[in-house]
């Protein structure tokens, strides 16, 4: 299993739990010291490579090298994401979120998809969000980026079915989970412990689910959001 964005939060805990379940894991991120610490903790089953997903060509070639070093790949978890970024202007900040959450995602998704097509099987997991189910004035590019990846993964599931590829595409629709991203943020509720949420994510991956709400109770919220008229949503956040 290769986890893109394994240096903190969900990705880091997923690396831990996957190794505990017997997987060989490759982790990436920009913070090399975190990757080194994880290897010290997890041992020889953990491989790592420094990667910035917004440097698209470099990221794809690093992914390929990591696959080679590990002797193959059956599952990739596209977990890297940001909700905001220090920048000189709002437009520059929004562009950065799109570079990481959308363009970085698409580039690595494409690389993995081609790899799995050649191999004949594989699983691509993306971490979207409940925030993708509606626009949020406090996080416009973030909520839009998560809507994009959910729709993108659905389209690829259709494509796999149409061309009869044995590639599973799993959309993890996450509610609030404890991590660096949610630390110190106000107004959050039902914030899940990282260990519990990641345990459910790993189970969903192993069951080859197509869409999984994490934690499970967020399925109810998703259902309710779909019932709320746009004119009400437009005034909520
Ligand atoms: N926590 C939640 O409540 C929640 C809810 C819904 C969805 N999610 C999604 O879950 C995913 C993981 O988030 P988290 O909550 O675990 O937050 P986190 O602790 O901030 O982890 C984010 C991960 O993404 C990596 N990353 C960020 N920018 C990157 C870049 N340019 N290149 C490569 N890696 C990059 C980070 O690594 P480096 O900084 O080392 O590069 C880190 O490993 C994100 O996609 C997030 O949108 C989280």
Architecture of domain 2-236: 3-Layer(aba) Sandwich (3.40)
Q: Which residue in 142, 152, 156, 213 is the catalytic one?
A: 142
Give me ligand 1 centre to Cα 175, in Å: 14
Length of the chain: 237
**Neighbour-count burial of 11, counting CB atoms closer than 10 A to its CB (0-12 exposed, 13-18 middle, 19+ buried):** buried
Q: What is the pLDDT of residues 6-59, one digit of tens each?
A: 999 999 999 999 999 999 999 999 999 999 999 999 999 999 999 999 999 999
The ligand 1 atom at the shortest distance from the C-alpha of residue 81 is 45
Q: Is the beta carbon of 30 within 6 A of some atom in ligand 1?
A: yes
Which residue minimizes the CA distance to atom 37 of ligand 1? Answer: 29
- CA-CA distance, 46 to 41, in Å (whole number)? 9
Q: How far apart (Å, rounded) are the C-alpha atoms in residues 56 and 39?
A: 25
Domain boundaries, the chain: 2-236
Gap from CA of 82 to ligand 1 centroid (Å): 6
Ramachandran sector of residue 189 (left: φ over 0; alpha: ψ -120 to 50; beta: rest): beta
Whether the CB of 8 sits within 6 Å of ligand 1? yes
- Quickly count: other Cβ atoms within 10 Å of residue 130's Cβ: 20
Residue 157: strand pairing partners: none
Ligand 1: does its nearest atom lie under 6 Å from the Cβ of 81?
yes
Q: What is the pTM of this model?
A: 0.97
pLDDT at 136 over 80: yes
Query: How do residues 159-198 score in pLDDT, each as one tens digit?
Result: 999 999 999 999 999 999 999 999 999 889 999 999 999 9
Q: Is the CB of 100 under 6 A from ligand 1?
A: yes
Q: Is 142 a catalytic residue?
A: yes
Residues 63-80, mean pLDDT to the nearest whole number: 98
The closest of 130, 102, 103 to 197, measured between CA atoms, is 130
Residue 86's pLDDT is 85
| Average confidence (pLDDT) over 120-142 | 95
């Amino acid at each position: 299993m290769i986890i893109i964005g394994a240096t903190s939060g969900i990705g880091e805990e997923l690396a831990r739990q996957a190794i505990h379940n017997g997987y060989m894991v490759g982790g990436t991120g920009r913070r090399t010291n975190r990757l080194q610490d994880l290897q010290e903790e997890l041992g020889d089953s953990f491989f790592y490579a420094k990667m910035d997903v917004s440097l698209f060509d470099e990221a794809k070639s690093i992914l390929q090298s990591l696959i080679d070093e590990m002797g193959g790949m059956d599952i990739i978890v596209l977990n890297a994401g940001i909700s905001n970024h220090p920048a000189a202007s709002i437009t520059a900040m929004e562009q950065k979120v799109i570079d990481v959450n959308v363009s970085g995602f698409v580039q690595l998704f494409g690389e993995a998809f081609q790899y799995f097509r050649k191999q004949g099987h594989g699983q691509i997991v993306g971490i979207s969000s409940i925030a993708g189910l509606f626009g949020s004035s406090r996080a416009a590019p973030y909520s839009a980026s998560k809507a994009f990846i959910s729709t993108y993964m659905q389209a690829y599931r259709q494509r796999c079915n149409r061309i009869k590829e044995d590639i599973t595409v799993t959309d993890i629709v996450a509610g609030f989970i404890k991590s660096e991203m949610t630390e110190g943020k106000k107004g959050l509720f039902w914030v899940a412990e990282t260990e519990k949420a990641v345990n459910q994510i790993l189970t969903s991956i192993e069951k080859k689910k197509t869409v999984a709400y994490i934690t499970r109770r967020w399925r109810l919220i998703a259902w309710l959001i779909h019932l709320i008229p746009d004119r009400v949503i437009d005034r909520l956040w």
